[in-house]
Structure 1
Amino acid sequence: MRVPVLLSSLAVVAILGEGCVSNKKFGQLQSSYNELQNQNRALDGKYQASQRELSGATTRVQSLEEQIAAQRNNLVALQAALDKCLNSTSQGNVNISKLVDEINASNKYIQHLVNTKNTSDSLNLVLTNNLTRSLSREEMQDVDVQVLKGVVYISLSDKMLYKSGSYEISSTAGATLAKIAKIIKDYKDYDVLIEGNTDNVPISKTNIRNNWDLSALRASSVVQSLQNDYAVDPKRLTAGGRGEYNPVASNADDAGKTRNRRTQIIITPKLDQFMELIDKAPDADDQPPVVSPQQPAGNQP
C-alpha cells in the first residue's frame, strides 16, 4: 500500500531536481501529496482491520472444525450405544417370550389344580349327602360328618352316645346308631374304624384307670353295639382309643372339651367304590338341609 506514495514522492523530488517550479505548481503538488498520504493511512487502517478480521475468522473456523470433530466422535459413540441397545432389546424380547410361555404353562397347571379340587369337592359332597340324608335335623346337632380325601369321618358327641362318665351306650343313642349302621351296611365292603377320644380331664373310676381305657372302652362299646344290635359284620370293624391325645379343639374351656369328647366312625372306601357314589348321588329335592353342627355342653367323662 505504501509503494504508490513512494513513487509519488520520487516524482516530486525528480521534478524539483530538474529545476524550480512555481509556487502555484508546488502547492498543487503538495496538496496531491497530502491527499495521497491520507489515502495511504486510510488504506493502511483498512488493511489492519482486515488482518484482524481474518485472524478472528481463522480462529472461528478452527473452533468449528474442532466442534465438528467432537460431534463426529459423539455420533460414533451414539451409534455404538444404539447397536448395543438393539442387541440387548433383542435378547430381552427372547427372555420375555420365554417368561410368557412359563406364565402360561403355570396358569394351565393352576387351572388343572382348581378343576381337580372342584371335582374332589363335588365327590366329597356327593358322599356326604349319601351318608347323612337319613339323619334328622336334631341328630345332625350331635353328628358331624366330614369327608377328607375320600375318607369319611362321622363324629358322635359323648352326650348323645354314653351315660355320664361311662362307656355304656345310652338308650337315646339307639335311633342314631341304627341309621349309621344302615349306612355302614349299605356299603358293605368298606372298612370301619371306631375311634374313641376324650378331653384332658382325668377319669376317676375304680374300673377305669385313665382316659386311654375310657376311650378304648367307649369305642369297643360302639363296635359291639353295631355287631350285636345291628348285625354289622365284625370283620369290617376295628375298635381303637386315642385318649386325650387327638384333640380337635383347646381343652382350656368347656366348649373345647365338649368337642374333644367324641367317638369317630371312620369309613374308608376303595377307589372304585368311591367313584360308584357318583351314580348314586341323590336328587336336589332329596338332599337334607344344610345345618351347622352344634355341640351342646356335655358332662365330664
Structure 2
Amino acid sequence: MVHAIRFHKTGGPEVLVWEEVNVGKPGPGEARIRHTAVGLNFVDIYNRSGLYAAASLPSGLGSEGAGVVEEVGPGVTDLKPGDRVAYGSSPLGAYSEARLIPAASLLKLPDGIDDKTAAAMMLKGLTAQYLIRQTYRVKAGDTILLHAAAGGVGLILSQWAKHLGATVIGTVSNEEKAKLAQEHGCAHTINYTREDFVKRVDEITGGKKVPVVYDSVGKDTFLKSLDCLAPLGVAALFGQSSGSVEPLNLGLLAQKGSLYVTRPTLFTYAAKRENLVAMANELFDVVKSGAVKIEVHQTYPLKDAAKAHTDLAARKTTGSTVLLV
C-alpha cells in the first residue's frame, strides 16, 4: 500500500499525518509516478496552515518532486514507464510515495541531473527563471535587491543573476547566511537584524537605488522594499514568509517614483505547456553549464515532514531541503 503525508485540518506541523492512500490507475492525460525525492518549500507551510486554502480536506501536500513513471493513461504519448521525470508546478500531492499527476506537469530529466537535485530545483529554479527572465528581465550592469538571499530561491536566483552580469545585494538574518549568500553570487549582503537595508542599499548604489526588488518576505520588508527602488522600479512580491502585506495605498507608488508592484506566481507563468517546457529547458541548461549549482543542505525522511516544516519555519534551514522517499 502507498503511504503519503496528508492533513485533515489546517494548522501547525502537528496536523501532518503519515497514512495509507489508494493511488489507482492513471486516467486520460495522467501518469502514475513513483517518487524518489520531494522538494520542501515555504508555500507548503502556507497550504498546511490554511493561508492558501486547499481545494478540499483531507488534502495531500507539496507541488515539487522527482521520480520514475510507472504507468501512463490514455492520450499520453510523450512519456513512457521508466522515464525519469520531475515537476515543480502541480496539484497538491507530492508528499507521497506514489501519485497520479497530469502528464502535462511532468518534465523529462536530462542526463547529468539526478533525482535529488531535480526535487530541490524545480519549483525554486522555475520561480527564479520567471522572476529574472520574465517579471523583470535582469541584464548585465543591473544592481538588484534580493531578500532571503540564503533561501532556496535566493541561492539559485543570485547565482543566475550574477551569471547574467548583474550585481546582487542580498538580505540575510545572520553571518552564517551572509557567508552562504556571498558564496552563491551576492556581491553585497545586508544583515537586516542589525542594519537598515534601505540605508545600505542607498550607500551601495551611490543613491541610485535599484530597478527591481525580489521580495518573498512580505509584511516585514515590503514597504521598505519600495524605498529601495529607483523611479519606474519593480517590486516583485513572490512570497510572504513574515505574513501578508497590508492593503496598499496606490498613491504611494506615485510618490515613490511611479513604481510597479506585481504579485506573480509560478502557476500563472507555467500555465501553458509550451511556456513550462521553455522555462525548464533554460533552467536545465544553466544548471548543466555549472553557472548555477544546486546544493541540498538538508534531507529528511518523507514521513518526518512535520519536523522539516518546523525547522523551515524557524529559519533553521538554508538553501534547498529534500524529503527522501
TM over 0.5: no
Structure (1/2) with the larger helix percentage? 1
- TM-score by structure 1 length? 0.27
Structure (1/2) with the larger strand percentage? 2
